[in-house]
Amino acid sequence: MAFADVADVADVADVEGLWDELTGLQPDPELWLVLATAAAALLLTGPWSVWRITRNTVTIAHEGGHGLVALLMGRRLEGIRLHSDTSGLTLSRGKPTGLGMVLTAAAGYTAPSLLGLGGAALLGAGRITALLWGATALLLLMLVMIRNLYGVLTMVLTGALFLLVSWLTEPEVQAAFGYLVVWFLLLGGIRPVWELQRKRRRGGAPDSDADQLARLTHLPAPVWLLFFHAVALIALIGGGRWLLDVG
């Protein structure tokens, strides 16, 4: 009985230790590190040869946004597919019109920027560990809904990277990684909207999220493109102020 009591106390201590680590505050990194990670994120979203690879991360956030909002709106999430050309598809069942469908359709292009904004708020509050663990949990939850091999591989590799950094690296490395990820989401949320606008000018993407929203709301697709641009820009400005600790 005594051994059992000792084990119970140890288990409680371990849980409390993990909780303290998750909710604890970490010191802010030096300004040079914040600026360096911003520059690195800019490079990761710039040249096409790099962007065609890193864009997969934005696609994960995009499709994850569709899926999360669909669930929150009471829709049935059928599955998510991620493709090697960095496109994706999220299927959900439910009422084909109404507020739930509008919010689900609007969540894709806004998700990377809004996730970046939320991440910037956590980093600005000194909660680097909470950011990394939260991101890892979301990736693992999303993995369950992936329905194609390439998508599974992408999610496993991305989740493994977050897990390894969260558990096996020093606080300085965790801080650098966290800031790089958040800067990337804030900057990477801008480019896909411009790419969509360019495709539509050339007569492509006839069934894009903006066009679906136009059919659902009777507001022209350019209005929704303007909305996506506004969300991305506001998130970048607001998130950047938090990351740079600008009062």
In the numeric block, the tokens 């970048």 are attached to 236
DSSP string, 32-45: HHHHHHHHHHHHHT
Nearest to 100 by CA among 77, 78, 76, 73: 73
DSSP state of 86: S
pLDDT the model gives residue 139: 96
Tell me the C-alpha distance between 215 and 221, whole Å. Answer: 9
pTM of the predicted structure, to 2 decimals: 0.91
Tell me the C-alpha distance between 10 and 221, whole Å. Answer: 58
pLDDT the model gives residue 11: 53
First and final C-alpha spacing in the chain: 57
**DSSP 3-state of 47:** coil
pLDDT the model gives residue 116: 98
**DSSP 3-state of 99:** helix
Instruction: Using alpha carbons, list the distances in angstroms from residue 215 to 6, 105, 245.
Output: 63, 11, 41
Instruction: Using alpha carbons, list the distances in angstroms from residue 64 to 51, 68, 106, 196.
Output: 19, 6, 12, 19
pLDDT the model gives residue 213: 97
Q: Looking at residues 90-95, what average pLDDT do you find?
A: 95
Nearest to 104 by CA among 141, 68, 59, 60: 68
pLDDT tens by residue, 203-219 = 888 899 999 999 999 99
Tell me the C-alpha distance between 53 and 178, whole Å. Answer: 19
pLDDT above 80 (res 88): yes
